[in-house]
Structure 1
Amino acid sequence: MSIRRTVQRFAEWRQHGDVLVLATVYETMGSTYSKAGHRSLIAANGDYQGLVSGGCLEGDLAERASRIRETRQAAAITYDLRDEADDLWGLGVGCNGLIRVFLQPLVPEQDYEPFAAIARRLMGTERAAVATVIEPGGSPLALGSTLIRTADSSESWDLDAAGAERLAGGCDEALRSGDSRYVDDDSGAGILYSVLAPVPRLLVLGAGPDAVPLVRMAAEVGWLVTVADHRPAYIDRGGFEAAERVATIDPPALGREIDLETFDAVIVMSHHLATDRTYLAQLATIGAGYVGVLGPPARKARLLEEVGAVGEKLRPRLKGPVGLDIGADSPESIAVSILAELQAGRSGAVAESPAD
C-alpha cells in the first residue's frame, strides 16, 4: 500500500477525532516484508493502512494497538520469526526474519503529532529526516520524542533545545546517506533515524487513450500525477479521475503554467512531433530524475536533432523507448513497463530497458 494512500487515509480518520496508532518499523534482521523507517496507521476500529508485514502480523498489531489507545503509552514490540517453530506466536508465518515495531498513540489533543507533520513532509517536495526515541535508556530523552529536520529547518515534539541538538547530527547523516537506521548511543538510548522521501510526482504530457492506464496505475501505486495536453477534446474525453491535476495547456506555455522542477519523472507522449519537440526543449534543464519520450529510438534521435543545441543537455538522460523490455504490446502492458522502470529507478534497482 502506498505512502500516498496512508496519508489520505490519515486525513480521513483524523476527522473523527479518535485516537490513532502509528506503527513504525525500527529494526529488522533477516527476511522481512518491510524495513526500518516503514510506517503504517491503525484506526480505532482496528482497520489499518500500510502493511508492516504481508498481512500476517497486522491482526496482532491491531490488538496491541487497542491497548496503546487505552493507555496512551507508546510501546516497542519484537516479532522474532526466524525459528522454524514460529507457531509459538500462533502465527506460523515462516518469514524467517525479526522485526521490531514501535507503537505510538496519535491523539487529537496534540493534533495527531508527530505524524501530522510527517504527512505534511511526505506530501511536500523536500526530503526530510526524522529522529524517534524508541528507548530512552539512561538519557533524559522522553519515549517517543521526535525531531524532524530538513537541510534548513527543524521541528520537534517532547524535546528541549539540548535534546533537539543531540538528535540533529543523526538526522543530518540520514539526509546525507539516504539510509534509515536504528542506533544505540552511549547512554543506552535507542533512536531511529529515518528518511522521509516525498510522494513521487509524475508529469504525463499527452492525454491520448494510451495515457489513461498509465495515469490510473501510477496513481494506484502512489504517484501524484499531472496530465497536460493542448487538445481540449482529449482532456474532455475523461479517464483521468485518478490524476491530481488535469490541464489544457498550449505547449509553448508549459513551463509557465506548470512548475516543472517539482516532478520526479516526465513522460512525453503526445504522439505529435512538433508538440513533443516543444515539450523537450523546455525539459532539457529540469532536475527530474527521469525524462522519457514514447516511440522508437529513431524518433527520439530525430527529436533531439530538431530541438537543436538545447537537446544536447537532454541527450545523455532522455529515455526512449520508455519502459522495461517485457514485450509490452497494449496500452495497459506499456503502462506496466513504464511504471516498473520508474520504480526500479527510485529504488536503485538494476532493470533491463529496451535497447536505444
Structure 2
Amino acid sequence: MRLFLLLCLLTLGAAKSYQRINVMELMKNYDLMMADEDNSDEDDSKEEEDYEENESCPAGCHCSPRVVQCSDQGLISVPEKIPEDILMLDLQNNDITEIKENDFKDLNKLYGLFLINNKISKIHPKAFRNMDKLRILYLSYNLLTEIPENLPPNVLELRFHENKISRIQKDAFKGLNRLHVLELGANPLANSGIELGAFNGLSTFYVGMAEAKLTAVPKDLPSSITELSLDYNKILKVEVEDFIRYKNLLRLRLGFNQIKSVENGSFVSTPNIREIHLDNNQLKKVPPGLSSLRYLQVIYLHGNKINSVGVNDFCPVSPGIKKNLYTGISLFANPVKYWDVQPATFRCVIGRRGVQLGNFRK
C-alpha cells in the first residue's frame, strides 16, 4: 500500500499543469499490491471472459474487466449504465459540470475515481454514499469553491489541485481517518480561509498547499504529516512556533516565497527532518540551527541574497552529533564569494559534488 501511494505521489506531486493520469498504469500497481490475494489465474480469465460477453459499455468509452475509460469524450455528465463491478473509472478531460446524487449509485466496488480537468462546480452531498472501497479520488482542475460534503470514508489519496477553493471549513474532512495524501495546491487559499479544526481527525502523511495565497505557515495541519509542500506562496518569515505541531516532518518545501528571515530554533521541533527547500527567497544569511539537525541531508538555499557562509553554519562542531551526512547543499545564485568559504564548512558533506556554489550575476 505504501509503495502504491509513493508511486502516485512521485508522479503527481510536482505537477503544475494538467497532466493526464495513466489509469491502466495505476491498475498495474493495484495488481502488484493485491498480488497476495487468493485469486487463481484460472478464475481471473473466466471473469474476463464473462465480462466481455455479458457487460455493456457506455457509448464512446473503452471498457476492460475492471476499468472503464471515458476520457476526452466531451461528456457534460457522468455516463449511465456503468458496469457495477469495476475498480477504476476514468472521466478525465471532459466537460462535466455537476456530480449528481445517483451518478455513482451502484459503484460500491470502485477503488479509483478520476474526475480531473472537468468543469465541476457542484457535488451532491450523497454522491459518494456506499463507496466504502474508494481509495483514490482525484478532483483536480475543476471549479469547486469548497470541500465537498460526505467524502468517501476510506479514501487514502484526495486531490483538489487547481480549483477555486478559498475556504476550508471546520471538520471539512471529518471521518477520513485513513487519508494519507491531501493535495490542495493552486487554490486561492489564504491563512484566514482555513478555519480552526479544518483538519480534525486526520492522520495524513502528505499535505500540499503550494501556489496558494498563504502569508505564513499554517499552524493547524495534521500533526502526523511527514511532508509539507508550501512552494510558490507569499510567506514572509519562518518562526519557532511554525513547526511545533509537526514533529514527524521529514520533507519541507518553502521555495519561491518571500522569506526574509528564519528565527533561531525554528527547526528544533523537527529533529528527524531530512530535506528542506528554502530556495528562491529573500534570505541574507544561512538559516540558524541547521548544524543541530542530525538527520538533515538536503538543504536548498539557491536563489537567495546570502552574502557569507560561516564555518559552522551546516556542520556541528562535534562530528559525532551528525547521524546522516549531507548529500546536497545548494548555494548557487547567491552573492556569496565562494573563494571566501572555508573548506571545513562542508566537512559533513558526502563527496565534492554534494555542494553547489557558483558565481553570482545581478
Verify same fold: TM over 0.5. no
Q: Which has the higher helix share?
A: 1
TM-score by length of 2: 0.29
Q: Which has the higher strand share?
A: 1
TM-score by length of 1: 0.29
Larger relative contact order (Cα-Cα within 8 Å, sequence gap ≥ 6): 1
